[in-house]
Amino acid sequence: MRLSLGEAEVCLTAEGLEEAPGGVRLVGREVRVFPPFRSQRFFRHGWQSWSLAAWVDLAQAPTPLLPEARRPQADDPFLLETGAWWGSGLGALKGPDGKVLLLGALDVGARVLGREDLLLGRYSGEGRGWFLAYGEEEEVFSAYARLLPERRSGRPPRVWCSWYSFYTGIGEDLLLKVLDEVAAFPFEVFQVDDGWQRALGDWEPNERFPRGMAYLAQRVREKGLRAGIWLAPFLVTADSSLLRERPDWLLRDGDGRPVRAGFNWGKPLYALDAGNEEVLEWVESLVRKALAWGYDYLKLDFLYAAALPGAEGEARYRRALTRLREAAKEAYLLFCGAPILASLGLADGLRVGPDVAPYWDNEDRSFWLADPTGPGLRNALRTTWHRLWLSENVHVDPDVAYFRTRFNLL
């Protein structure tokens, strides 16, 4: 069928359509949109927080990220392995006049292919809704965002996070010393990051926190601050008691093998099965435990593990994170390493780019491994910039800002 979108007349295939503010709604498990121009630029939207979101050159084929073991924590593996420009949930083509033709999913589990003469949207699950718009870039992305779920609770809090000062080298004595210093600045949250737990999957304090996490949270509150803590609730490693005791909780592929969730901390990562009721009850109890300790700001990391293998797992992810959201009550939830569109309406804050770092780019990783998701200012700025259109739906988190002259290559 032919459709007039303001100044542009497009051809498309869909099961149905209706008017929507700023564009039209389309219906179909698969839709095809043929623009009235040949485009050289495609807006490629990555799957989760760290995944590349940027305008890319359609004349250059995507380079597969190496090694394969890291792909699950970089993006929807399908997007990295097809040899074509696919995006997660949405895609857009830029015309010769600079205006944009955007196709965006209104349900979870979608991918969009971009070619010079085509936008192809396809659902992996039961979704059928799409939004199509043409116009100035800011206007069409804003119109799309208004149709997506939102959750905003005033302004985002000012947070001090232990990660970028100490990484995993934290302990009770060190953090109490830092707490005295942080309290002199206008922060509202003191957040303990990775390094407090016994292992990924064993969410109890290690030997460097002899008086426990409730004691530390109490000391934080005595300074007039909210206490925050880091969790990766759907991630587990082989050295954890949880994996040894409950191997049946692992997400497995069609051949019964554990699904790899990436590689980090010098070891393989595995995913818990977010479709397993016992796993969900365990995650709910973990969240309630953190609240009982006194933490009402939760940084939830590596959440993509609950949605593997990619778009096909987003409906499962959405159900699991809805349960987690309900268990957390009014605690502030920062989602990180999270499928972007599937997290809207559940997260208070959402990381929208890779980690920052005290250098511009790790050229070995970006060039030799073709990895645009690694820590570095270049990667963080690029992907964050291309997700600011979500700021009306959620607190967009570009990662931290820090100021120092030591250990700084910028």
pTM over 0.75: yes
Furthest-apart CA atoms within the chain: distance in Å? 69
Q: What is the pLDDT of residues 94-105, one digit of tens each?
A: 999 999 999 999
**Stretch 71-76: mean pLDDT, rounded?**
95
Indicate if 176 and 117 belong to the same structural domain.
no
CB 75 within 8 A of CB 63: no
Q: Is residue 408 one of the residues assigned to a domain?
A: no
Indicate if 318 and 188 belong to the same structural domain.
yes
Distance CA 387, CA 51 (A): 11
Q: What is the pLDDT of residues 163-172, one digit of tens each?
A: 999 999 999 9
Q: Is residue 392 one of the residues assigned to a domain?
A: yes
**Among 9-18, 49-58, 61-70, 72-81, which stretch is predicted with the lowest mean pLDDT?**
61-70
Q: What is the pLDDT of residues 162-203, one digit of tens each?
A: 999 999 999 999 999 999 999 999 999 999 999 999 999 999
Question: In what helix (H) or strand (E) does residue 24 lie, and over which residues does it extend?
Answer: strand 23-27
Indicate if 101 and 134 belong to the same structural domain.
yes
Q: Is residue 13 one of the residues assigned to a domain?
A: yes
Q: Is residue 281 one of the residues assigned to a domain?
A: yes
Indicate if 176 and 135 belong to the same structural domain.
no
Distance CA 164, CA 229 (A): 14
Tell me, what's the pLDDT at 31?
98
**C-beta atoms surrounding 254 within 10 Å:** 5
C-alpha closest to that of 109 among 401, 276, 319, 298: 319
Tell me, what's the pLDDT at 4?
82
Tell me, what's the pLDDT at 7?
80
Indicate if 175 and 314 belong to the same structural domain.
yes
Distance CA 392, CA 146 (A): 8
Predicted confidence (pLDDT) at residue 406 exceeds the cutoff of 90: no
Indicate if 315 and 181 belong to the same structural domain.
yes
Indicate if 240 and 328 belong to the same structural domain.
yes
Task: Give the pLDDT band (50/70/90) at residue 401.
Answer: confident
Of 101, 116, 145, the residue that ends a domain is: 145
Q: Domain range for residue 127?
A: 2-145
Indicate if 133 and 256 belong to the same structural domain.
no
Predicted confidence (pLDDT) at residue 341 exceeds the cutoff of 80: yes
Q: Is residue 404 one of the residues assigned to a domain?
A: no
DSSP strand pairing (159-161 vs 189-192):
parallel
Predicted confidence (pLDDT) at residue 345 exceeds the cutoff of 80: yes
Of 145, 169, 197, the residue that ends a domain is: 145
* Ramachandran bin of 249, using left for φ above 0, alpha for ψ from -120 to 50, beta for the remaining angles: alpha
CB 26 within 8 A of CB 130: yes
Q: Is residue 100 one of the residues assigned to a domain?
A: yes
Cα-based torsion angle of the residue sequence 361, 178, 157, 379 in order, rounded to the nearest 10 degrees: 0
Q: Is residue 150 one of the residues assigned to a domain?
A: no
**Stretch 74-87: mean pLDDT, rounded?**
95
Predicted confidence (pLDDT) at residue 6 exceeds the cutoff of 90: no
Nearest 5°: CA angle at 318, between 392 and 155? 25
Indicate if 86 and 222 belong to the same structural domain.
no
Q: What is the pLDDT of residues 217-275, one digit of tens each?
A: 999 999 999 999 999 999 999 999 999 999 999 999 999 999 999 999 999 999 999 99
203 phi, psi to nearest 5 deg: -90, 65
What residues form DSSP beta bridges with 262?
A: 269
**Stretch 29-57: mean pLDDT, rounded?**
98
Q: Is residue 152 one of the residues assigned to a domain?
A: no
Q: Tokens 């609770």 correspond to what residue?
A: 153
**C-beta atoms surrounding 211 within 10 Å:** 12
Question: In what helix (H) or strand (E) does residue 268 lie, and over which residues does it extend?
Answer: strand 267-271
Indicate if 117 and 260 belong to the same structural domain.
no
CATH of the domain at 305: 3.20.20.70
Mean pLDDT of the residues in the chain = 96
Predicted confidence (pLDDT) at residue 405 exceeds the cutoff of 90: no
Tell me, what's the pLDDT at 3?
83
Helices (H), 264-388: 277-293, 314-328, 340-343, 363, 377-385
Does residue 68 sit in helix, strand or coil?
helix
Indicate if 284 and 180 belong to the same structural domain.
yes
Nearest 5°: CA angle at 257, between 251 and 259? 45
Q: Is the dihedral of CA 299, 301, 305, 310 positive or negative?
A: positive
Of 145, 180, 197, the residue that ends a domain is: 145
Tell me, what's the pLDDT at 196?
99
Indicate if 289 and 355 belong to the same structural domain.
yes
Q: What is the pLDDT of residues 96-142, one digit of tens each?
A: 999 999 999 999 999 999 999 999 999 998 999 999 999 999 999 99
Q: What is the pLDDT of residues 273-332, one digit of tens each?
A: 999 999 999 999 999 999 999 999 999 999 999 999 999 999 999 999 999 999 999 999
CA-based radius of gyration for the chain: 22
What residues form DSSP beta bridges with 48?
A: 339
Amino acid in position 194: D
Number of domains in the chain: 2
Query: Catalytic residue positions?
Result: 301, 355
